[in-house]
Structures are given as C-alpha cells and as structure tokens.
C-alpha cells in the first residue's frame, strides 16, 4: 500500500504554536497546525463561519481562534467550540521520523471544489 500517505515535508518547517498553508490545486487549501505541545493537525483552511483563513489565527492548546471574527475551532475535530455551531473538515495526519504525512485520499477526496 505505497502512497496512502502523502509526505508534506519536515516538522521543522512549522514553528510550534503556528500553522502553514498547503494549497491543493483544484481543491480547498489545507492549513497544517503544530501546537505548542507539538501535536500536528491538518484542517481545510476555511472557517465554518465565513471562510476565514484559520491558518492565520492564534493557536492555543489544540484550538485556533479565527482571525476574522474570533470563532474558536477545535483542531482535533474541526468543530466550532462554545456557542458557535459549524464544522470544518479535518485531514488525517501523522508524523513519522520527523516528517509530516497527510492521508492522501482525504487531501483530494472529500471536497471537490
């Protein structure tokens, strides 16, 4: 089963507590997060509220606060927290020997643009 996972680069490319973006031609851009505790998460880079770029939000614990209207989105589930309702697709991700991998089928599969 070669190639189920897509290598997207070394973990060093993301500073803990921040995110970087991964455009997917023809599909939604992905935001890849690294938390202060060195957990890694990948989500579609679109806030469920009004499509704010989540990659630009402030990351705290395993939550990102959307830069446009401050919704808090769980990095684990993609769900909006608190009173807000909505969910953004997450992309299964794993880290192995210092490299980050996304589940290939999820990168291109779920959301045809």
Partner 1 sequence: MSPPRPPNFGMRSGGFFVLRVLPRITELNAPSTLMDKDNTAPVKERLVVIGNGMAGCRAVEEILALDSARFDVTIFGAEPRVNYNRIMLSPVLAGEKAFEDIVINSDDWYTDNAITLVSGDPVVSIDRATQTVVAKSGRVEPYDRLLIATGSDPFIIPVPGKDLAGVVTFRDLDDVDKMLTAAEKGGSAVVIGGGLLGLEAAHGLSLRGMKVTVVHLMPTLMERQLDEAAGYLLKTELERRGQTIVTGGDTAEIVGRDGQVSAVRLKDGRTFDADIVVMAVGIRPGTTLAKSAGIEVERGIVVDDHMVTSDPAIMAVGECVQHRGACYGLVAPLWDMCRALADAACQQPSGYEGSVTSTKLKVSGIDLFSAGDFSGGDGAEDIVMRDAARGVYKRVVVKDNRLVGAVLYGDTADGNWYFDLLKKGEDISDIREALIFGQAFASGGALLDPNAAVAALSDDAEICGCNGVSKGKVIETINAGACSLDAVRSTCKASASCGSCTGLVESLLALTLGGEVQSGPKTMCKCTSFSHDDVRRLIGEKSLRSIPQAMQELHWTTPDGCSSCRPALNYYLLCAWPGEYEDDQKSRFVNERLHANIQKDGTYSVVPRMWGGLTNPRELRAIADVVEKFNAPMVKVTGGQRLDIFGIKKEDLPAVWADLNAAGMVSGHAYGKSLRTVKTCVGSEWCRFGTQDSTGLGVKLERMTWGSWMPHKFKIAVSGCPRNCAEATIKDFGVVCVDSGYELHVGGNGGIKVRATDLLCKVATEAEVMDVCAAFIQLYREQAHYLERTAPWIERVGLDHVKAGLFDDADSVKRLAARFRYSQTFCQDDPWAERVAGKDADLHQHLAEVRPLSITEYAQ
The residue assigned the tokens 């690294």 is: 34
The one among 39, 40, 72, 77 contacting partner 1 by CB under 8 A: 72
The one among 22, 41, 52, 106 contacting ligand FES by CB under 6 A: 52
Site residues for ligand FES, 17-36, by CB under 6 A, read none
Query: What is the rounded CA–CA span in Å between residue 68 and residue 49?
Result: 9
Contact (CB, 8 A) for 48 and 87: yes
Query: In Å, how far from its chain's centre is CA 82?
Result: 20
User: Tokens for 87?
Assistant: 């969910």
The one among 22, 43, 44, 47 contacting ligand FES by CB under 6 A: 47
Give the C-alpha distances (Å, rounded to integers) separating 88 from 1, 29, 78, 107, 108.
Answer: 28, 12, 5, 14, 15
The one among 48, 65, 73, 88 contacting partner 1 by CB under 8 A: 65
Residue 63 interacts with ligand FES (CB under 6 A): yes or no: no
Binding site for partner 1 (CB under 8 A): 2-3, 6, 8-9, 13-18, 20-27, 30, 32, 36-37, 50-53, 56-61, 63, 65, 67-68, 70, 72, 104, 107-108
């Amino acid at each position: 089963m070669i190639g189920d996972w897509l290598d997207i680069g070394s973990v060093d490319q993301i500073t803990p507590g921040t995110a970087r973006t991964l455009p997917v031609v023809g599909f939604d851009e992905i935001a890849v997060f690294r938390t202060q505790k060195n957990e890694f998460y990948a989500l579609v880079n679109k806030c469920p509220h009004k499509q704010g770029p989540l990659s630009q939000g402030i990351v705290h614990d395993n939550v990102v606060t959307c830069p446009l209207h401050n919704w808090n989105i769980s990095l684990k589930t993609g769900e909006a927290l608190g009173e807000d309702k909505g969910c953004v697709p997450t992309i299964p991700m794993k880290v192995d020997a210092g490299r980050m991998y996304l589940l290939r089928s999820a990168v291109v599969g779920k959301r045809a643009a």
